[in-house]
Structure 1
Amino acid sequence: MPKYEPRNSFESPRFSGPRTFMRLPWVEKAEEGVDFAVTGIPFDGGQSFRTGARFGPEAIRDFSVLLRPYNPVQDISIFDYLSGIDYGDIPIIPGYIQESYDKMVEGLTPLLQAGIKPIVLGGDHSITLGELRAVAKQYGPVGLVHFDAHSDTWDAYFGMKYNHGTPFRRAIEEGLIVPERSIQVGMRGPLYAPDDLDVAKNLGLEVYTTNELRQVGIEAMIDTIKERVGQGPTFFSFDIDFLDPVYAPGTGTPEVGGVTTTEALELVRGLTGINFVAFDLVEVLPAFDHGQLTACAAANVVYEFISLIALQKKAKMAKDMGVATHAG
């Protein structure tokens, strides 16, 4: 079976060729032996303020050509352990959210059935509901790690149940995630009422504001997340507005007072050992980006997602080898 890895930038200039994530091969089918697939869901019909996140996947891919295969902080050569592809974009239907959800499930199901971990580039945060529907078909209800400035657990916007402010409430109602194994980190910004964050807590989610994150510190938060989600299958959703708009200006609903890019990367890197089965990064809006700051941050977060998969596989290989050696 073929092993897929990025094009060698010592042999082919980064500015040449099609813009796939990290210069990975563009393969629009689930193939045996592939460990992860980066795919775009360019849907922004759920945004309530700035629109344009449909162009997020393109922007993230464009910057990602600068990424290299060795992660020095995690000390791992990713493609020594992984085979990965760019799966292209899920063919959504602009303006039709329910029909687009069906397309998302249809597009992601072959990957999940093949044991391939999807890494989705959004798109606004409404797309996560479609992803979770596909993931739950394969794994049942999953735990959730959610980094965001907003809880996205409102009941409705303008009387409508499906948009980027409601996906996690709908996911809980549909039995797609296990609230007792789910955590939200980074909430901040003005609210409508004093008890707004209680909405998520009353749904069973554990919720930390950015201020609380800073009070407990990154290492303690990593421990809290790991304890909360346990060892079961888990979904990781990262809204780029988790970052302060100084570091990620290109997003739909920015909130001041967020974390730095360095802090965000430290948090993601610390989440080793969690059984992540799918990931997404959403709400990149290139029209408001400056100097590709947001695309740069997003591409590097996705790179750390891939590094987590590589570390997970490396640990499994070492464990299997140890078992085999012991048995021998």
Structure 2
Amino acid sequence: MTSDDTSTGRAGDGARPAPRGPVDSSRVPRFAGPATFARLPRLDETPGADVAVVGVPFDTGVSYRPGARFGGNAIREASRLLRPYNPAQDASPFALAQVADAGDIAANPFRIEEAVETVEQAAGELLDTGARLMTLGGDHTIALPLLRAVARRHGPVALLHFDAHLDTWDTYFGAAYTHGTPFRRAVEEGVLDTSALSHVGTRGPLYGKSDLSDDAKMGFGIVTSADVMRRGVDEVADQLRQRIGDRPLYVSVDIDVLDPAHAPGTGTPEAGGMTSRELLEILRGLAGCRLVSADVVEVAPAYDHAEITAVAASHTAYELTTLMCRQTAEGR
């Protein structure tokens, strides 16, 4: 079987080769060949990457339904349907910058603390090459080591957190590192710029009103899913851009930010969520922000009938990747 890759169109400038793009689907059907993200080359098949797509198959930090350890590969499989031109952003991202699939970070599934350290070190090594990271989870525990690694390179970063839940709780069963605690730890460790922290899409019952007051003390602003519905995506995106300003930005997307009708395949679903269209439009509205890395987490394919969740997650990663590729081309 042949698998001919095609460059997506940018001529080399003498300093670097044109980016190597995805497999040509007119020659190799989308259902054939290795399931790298968007059918892009592996990192070891390129001189380097401007954006490295990396999986973290880890879900030891979940508090309810497990299975997100299989999320990264489910997103990769769903991404076979992605195409090289993104009309919503009027960009051919894989021609603007080199995007490559860096495989998975293998983290110990039995020792959370060790897994956190492993993810931090591996992410740091990828960032040290000059790449931005598009990470496919895995549960939300992995956001903490990713933020540590990004902050070492860029300093404290602004955070835009899409999620049904706050993920700023203190502990679960005495454990400090879980999928419900990463952003409290990140604030405590000083890796976040507390003047530019936002949750988007939160909803559902809480343990008590103190959850909200504690969250506010950490510096978070909240745009609920009901706010998105009432105010509209353009107003929300504009508010977020103003809050972020020119700070280095990390975007973390828990796929349960979407309503279970749009993302049933996740560990802790909540009714009343955003639509996939709303999420994608808000992400597109971040054009101009300085996006340094991002993640999409909590896809649990065992609960994902017809791959609805994986498809939504693959398009979410595609929009974020497009933003990073545009910034690379603009020299930002």
Which TM-score band applies after superposition, normalised by the shorter structure?
Answer: over 0.9
The answer as to 2:304 corresponding to 1:275 is: no
Q: Report the Cα distance in structure 2 between the residues aligned to 1:30 and 1:205, rounded to whole angstroms.
A: 39
Alignment-derived partner of residue 206 in structure 2 = 191
Alignment-derived partner of residue 79 in structure 1 = 94
Deviation by residue 1:148-175 (Cα, 9 ceiling, x = unmatched): 0001000111121110000000000001
**More divergent stretch after superposition (109-118 vs 85-94):** 109-118
Q: CA deviation at 1:27?
A: 1.9
Deviation by residue 1:221-273 (Cα, 9 ceiling, x = unmatched): 11111111111211100000000000000000000000111111111111101
Alignment-derived partner of residue 236 in structure 1 = 251
SS of 1:62's partner is helix
SS of 2:127's partner is helix
Runs of 4+ in 1 over 3 A off after TM superposition: 28-32, 313-317
Q: 1:301 aligns with which of 316, 324, 328?
A: 316
Amino acid at match of 2:189: E
Q: Report the Cα distance in structure 2 between the residues aligned to 1:254 and 1:231, rounded to whole angstroms.
A: 33
The answer as to 2:17 corresponding to 1:17 is: no
Q: CA deviation at 1:314?
A: 4.0
TM-score by length of 1: 0.93
Q: CA deviation at 1:28?
A: 4.8
Alignment-derived partner of residue 165 in structure 2 = 150
Alignment-derived partner of residue 182 in structure 2 = 167
The answer as to 2:299 corresponding to 1:253 is: no
Amino acid at match of 1:24: L
Size of the alignment, in residue pairs?
316
**Could you say what the CA RMSD is over the residues aligned between the two structures, in angstroms?**
1.5
SS of 2:54's partner is strand
Amino acid at match of 1:308: L
Alignment-derived partner of residue 103 in structure 1 = 118
Q: 2:59 aligns with which of 44, 56, 64?
A: 44
Q: Report the Cα distance in structure 1 between the residues aligned to 2:327 and 2:150, rounded to whole angstroms.
A: 19
Q: Report the Cα distance in structure 1 between the residues aligned to 2:46 and 2:220, rounded to whole angstroms.
A: 33
SS of 1:16's partner is coil
Alignment-derived partner of residue 6 in structure 2 = none
Conserved 8 A contact 1:182-1:205: yes
SS of 1:245's partner is coil
Deviation by residue 1:59-116 (Cα, 9 ceiling, x = unmatched): 0001101100001111111122111100000011112111111111221112211221
SS of 1:11's partner is coil
TM-score by length of 2: 0.92
**More divergent stretch after superposition (125-134 vs 94-103):** 94-103
Q: Report the Cα distance in structure 2 between the residues aligned to 1:83 and 1:300, rounded to whole angstroms.
A: 18
Alignment-derived partner of residue 43 in structure 2 = 27
The answer as to 2:141 corresponding to 1:126 is: yes
Alignment-derived partner of residue 13 in structure 2 = none
1:291–1:189 Cα change, 3 Å:
same
SS of 1:279's partner is strand
**More divergent stretch after superposition (20-29 vs 108-117):** 20-29
Q: 1:290 aligns with which of 287, 305, 311?
A: 305
Amino acid at match of 1:162: Y
Q: Report the Cα distance in structure 2 between the residues aligned to 1:124 and 1:195, rounded to whole angstroms.
A: 25
